[in-house]
């Protein structure tokens, strides 16, 4: 019998935890839970987990702290739940290594769809192991399999989703990539709802790889449409 994928839900609202448990179990997942960040790490360390759903605002240990600590020991996907919609909070979560965020209140079907998409992306990544996935354009070099990035000769720390995003845009130099395309091909979302996930991730990635993020050479904005990685001809003459 095939084992079910296991999801850890960490939230201090027991009613919300129960709702998420029912929704996820109905869709075939096994669910573990904790009501604070301290217990959340204990459960994580004691059990194999395929994905973590993590609330930001919790007693004893907030979600940002737990996200940072989990990312230090694991590349397990992390989806953060937040009642805060301030852009800096979202960037902070992504910077700490979260793969995605969902703002409250949310639709349970959306949560299940996000979970399914993130786990599918991980499965695709694992199935591609053994392939050579190295890109080098201008001063940016990326080895997706080793999880390393070098910008202007220096090592740069990227989160797993940032690695996937950079690899994808570098695989399509000069091509306009709409937000919906990026959501579908990088995050695995087959819909385009009200989310600024792509913009936040691009902003953070630009801050990491550009010498001057306000005057980018690589990650270029196509106003009103999306983004593109600079074509080789632009880099040669940039």
Domain boundaries, the chain: 6-127, 134-236
Is it the case that residue 196 has pLDDT exceeding 70? yes
- At the topology level, CATH places domain 134-236 in Arc Repressor Mutant, subunit A (1.10.10)
Q: 85 or 149: which carries more pLDDT confidence?
A: 149
**pLDDT of amino acid 122:** 77
Is it the case that residue 126 has pLDDT exceeding 70? no
pLDDT digits (tens, 9 = 90+) for 150-195: 998 899 988 888 888 999 999 999 999 999 899 888 888 776 555 6
Q: Which of 1, 54, 8 is nearest to 29 (CA)?
A: 8
**148-151 β-sheet, strand order:** 134-137, 140-143, 148-151, 154-155
Is it the case that residue 46 has pLDDT exceeding 90? yes
Is it the case that residue 96 has pLDDT exceeding 70? yes
pLDDT digits (tens, 9 = 90+) for 10-20: 999 999 999 99
Q: Detail the DSSP E strand segments found in 42-178.
A: 51-55, 78-82, 100-103, 134-137, 140-143, 148-151, 154-155, 177-178
Q: What is the CATH number of domain 6-127?
A: 3.40.50.2300
pTM, whole model, 2 decimals?
A: 0.80
pLDDT digits (tens, 9 = 90+) for 202-236: 988 999 999 999 999 999 999 989 999 999 888 75
């Amino acid at each position: 019998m095939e084992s079910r994928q296991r999801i850890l839900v960490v939230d201090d609202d027991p009613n919300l935890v129960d709702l998420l448990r029912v929704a996820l179990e109905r869709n075939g997942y096994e669910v573990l839970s904790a009501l604070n960040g301290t217990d959340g790490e204990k459960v994580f360390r004691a059990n194999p987990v395929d994905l973590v759903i993590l609330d930001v605002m919790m007693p004893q240990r907030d979600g940002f702290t737990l996200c940072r600590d989990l990312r230090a020991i694991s590349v397990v996907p992390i989806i953060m739940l937040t009642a805060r919609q301030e852009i800096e909070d979202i960037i902070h979560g992504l910077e700490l290594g979260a793969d995605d965020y969902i703002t409250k209140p949310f639709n349970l079907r959306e949560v299940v769809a996000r979970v399914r998409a993130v786990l599918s992306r991980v499965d695709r990544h694992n199935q591609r192991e053994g392939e050579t996935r190295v890109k080098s354009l201008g001063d940016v070099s990326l080895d997706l399999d080793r999880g390393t990035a070098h910008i202007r000769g220096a090592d740069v720390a990227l989160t797993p989703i940032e690695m996937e995003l950079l690899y994808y845009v570098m695989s399509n130099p000069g091509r306009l990539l709409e937000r919906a395309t990026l959501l579908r091909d990088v995050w695995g979302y087959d819909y385009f709802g009200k989310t600024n996930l792509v913009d936040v991730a691009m902003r953070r990635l630009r801050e990491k790889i550009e010498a001057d993020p306000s005057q980018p050479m690589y990650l270029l904005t196509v106003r009103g449409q999306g983004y593109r990685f600079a074509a080789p001809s632009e880099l040669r003459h940039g």
